[in-house]
Amino acid sequence: MPPPVVPTLGIPEDLGIPEDGEAEPKQDLLGLPRDRMATLLEGLIDKPYRIDQIYRALHEHGVDDFGQITTLSKDLRASLQREFTIGLPQEATRHQSADGTVKYLFRLHDGATIETVDIPDGDRRTLCLSSQAGCALACRFCVTGFWGGGRNLTSGEIVAQVLTAKRRDVEGTHGLNLVFMGMGEPLLNLDNLHTALEILLEQISWRRVTVSTAGILPGIEAMAAWPVRPQLAISLHAPDEDRRSEIMPINRKYPLKELLPLLARFPLARKQRITFEYILIRDFNDAKGDADLLAQLLKGLPAKVNLIPLNGDPVLGEEMRSPEPRRVEAFRQRLLERGLMATTRRQRGDDISAACGQLRVPNREPRGFRRSNLRY
């Protein structure tokens, strides 16, 4: 029996999208760092500490209406209400897995939709965040890519995913980890990602925030110059150029021969490592010989490998299958023997299509995949 869909508030027909001749949407304060908010509100506030009151109300107390900020005067609340908005998304559906994982479908102000996944694990909790409303990279193993690209999320829409999930947990950021592994390629939305991280890292340590990329070289170079950087994860998924290009078209633009030297120069804290995510596809990249090639490829890098047995979906085709558990473990053991740190990601939320690579864009025509010569 499929898991139930939790009913939520209905989505109104009028989503506030301006028609010709209408005013532009109000400025969303959720996507503004403290200093930019202070500049924007300079003409409205009477005392500088009002900025802290507004900022804390939004990001620590989770208000969704300026009228709830009772430390402000009525006139100031009315001015904020008139000129600005708090851009929390509308929850269209919520599915809960048998293992406690929750997947949200959020509808944004213009009707675009994204999925966000909340994964509890004892006293820890991980939010898997989206950075785009879809993904244009068309990785062969990813359902999101099958459904095609969508627009970049604003910094406020990125932050709002965290705030919406926090409102359902009295512990707030206690034990909270953030991973940008949802819909979209984060480094193709670099400016908004950076602004969102500037806001989020005020409350969550950079050690508990991970940005995963398919290897966008200009984005990685830009990250290297940030004064505060989150953890970096690379979607690798093949031990050589040819096979990576078959399942990840982006490798043709940013090949491993250029990506790996850049990663060797990436600044890391003491004992910090770069995570290499490696989806295991049966009879394609899961042999012990492939583990040897992978170990050789990553030799000399401060690397740890996170193995991910493929989470299949009918749209990907019958040939996209997960290896047997014993083969996954044999691959991991081979990496350990070759001196690499290696773990296997525990499957979470697969019964509600919330596992890695399963997030999709509803109500959109699929673009499909061009069949490649995968060696099965």
356 is known as an active-site residue: yes
- Position 123 scores a pLDDT of 81
Q: Which of 115, 157, 185, 277 is catalytic?
A: 115
3-state secondary structure of 123: coil
Q: Which helix (H) or strand (E) holds 163?
A: helix 155-166
The position carrying tokens 């699929």 is 366
| 123-137, 159-173, 219-233, 310-324: which is most confident | 219-233
d(C-alpha 353, C-alpha 266), whole Å: 34
DSSP letter for 182, please. S
Q: Which of 128, 139, 142, 356 is catalytic?
A: 356
**What residue segments make up the domains of the chain, in order of their start?**
27-85, 90-352
Examine domains 27-85 and 90-352 and report if their fold is the same.
no
Rounded-to-5 percentages of helix, strand, coil across the chain: 35, 20, 50
CATH number, span 27-85: 1.10.150.530
Distances (CA, A) of 121 to 21, 70, 250, 288: 50, 36, 33, 31
> Is residue 138 within 8 Å of residue 249, measured between CB atoms?
yes
d(C-alpha 75, C-alpha 78), whole Å: 5
- Position 31 scores a pLDDT of 95
Q: Measured in Å, how far apart are the chain's first and last C-alpha atoms? A: 33
CATH number, span 90-352: 3.20.20.70
Q: Flag whether pLDDT at 297 surpasses 60.
A: yes
State pLDDT tens for residues 110-127. 999 999 999 988 888 899
- Mean pLDDT, all residues of the chain: 85
3-state secondary structure of 136: coil
Q: Flag whether pLDDT at 343 surpasses 50.
A: yes
> Is residue 321 within 8 Å of residue 282, measured between CB atoms?
yes
Q: Which pLDDT band, with edges at 50, 70 and 90, does 319 fall under?
A: confident
Q: Give the rounded percent of residues in the chain with a pLDDT score beyond 90.
A: 65
128 is known as an active-site residue: no
